[in-house]
């Protein structure tokens, strides 16, 4: 084995990529929702150039979730990155989802799941209901 190989004993494990952090955060967010009796009906729903991370029912309300995951707080809280522009994009994608499934009369809301990941791999999840 050559020096510096990722399989060397004692090698430092690199932080996961931003994509991996996001994917891991979304999986943790889905488990969080399931424990709270939400019924997830869609993951990563794409429309045009946008995406809604999770869509779930709680009782008779359809909830569109934006999941934001961060490693640490050096860039601020995860939910702070859900800008007015991002909110508008999510609303448009939600309208497309509702229209495609003929669900225009279903009560719905927009929530944020703010996921903070520490260096040990533990998650802290804040659920912000009716975020926008």
Residue-level pLDDT at 61 = 98
* Topology (CATH level 3) of domain 18-128: Trna Endonuclease; Chain: A, domain 1 (3.40.1350)
At residue 18 the predicted structure's pLDDT band, cuts being 50, 70 and 90, is low
- pTM for the full model? 0.82
Distances (CA, A) of 96 to 15, 25, 30, 33: 36, 25, 22, 23
Domains of the chain by residue range: 18-128
Residue-level pLDDT at 74 = 67
- Which ranges of the chain does DSSP label H, i.e. alpha helix? 18-35, 84-100
Per residue in 102-131, pLDDT tens?
998 999 999 999 999 877 778 899 999 999
What share of the chain has pLDDT > 70, as a percent? 82
Residue-level pLDDT at 101 = 97
Closest among 54, 53, 70, 65 to 123, alpha carbons compared: 70
CB contact at 8 A, 63 and 109: yes
């Amino acid at each position: 084995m050559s020096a510096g190989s990722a399989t060397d004993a004692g090698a430092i494990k690199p932080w996961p990529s931003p994509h991996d952090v996001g994917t891991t955060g979304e999986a943790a967010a889905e488990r969080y929702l399931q424990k709270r009796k939400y019924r997830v009906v869609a993951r990563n729903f794409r429309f045009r150039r946008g995406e809604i991370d999770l869509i779930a029912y709680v009782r008779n309300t359809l909830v569109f979730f934006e999941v934001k995951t961060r490693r640490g707080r050096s860039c601020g809280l995860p939910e702070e990155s859900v800008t007015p522009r991002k909110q508008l994009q999510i609303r448009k994608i939600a309208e497309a989802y509702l229209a495609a499934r003929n669900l225009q009369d279903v009560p719905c809301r927009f929530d944020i799941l703010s996921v903070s990941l520490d260096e040990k791999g533990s998650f802290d999840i804040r659920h912000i209901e009716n975020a926008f």
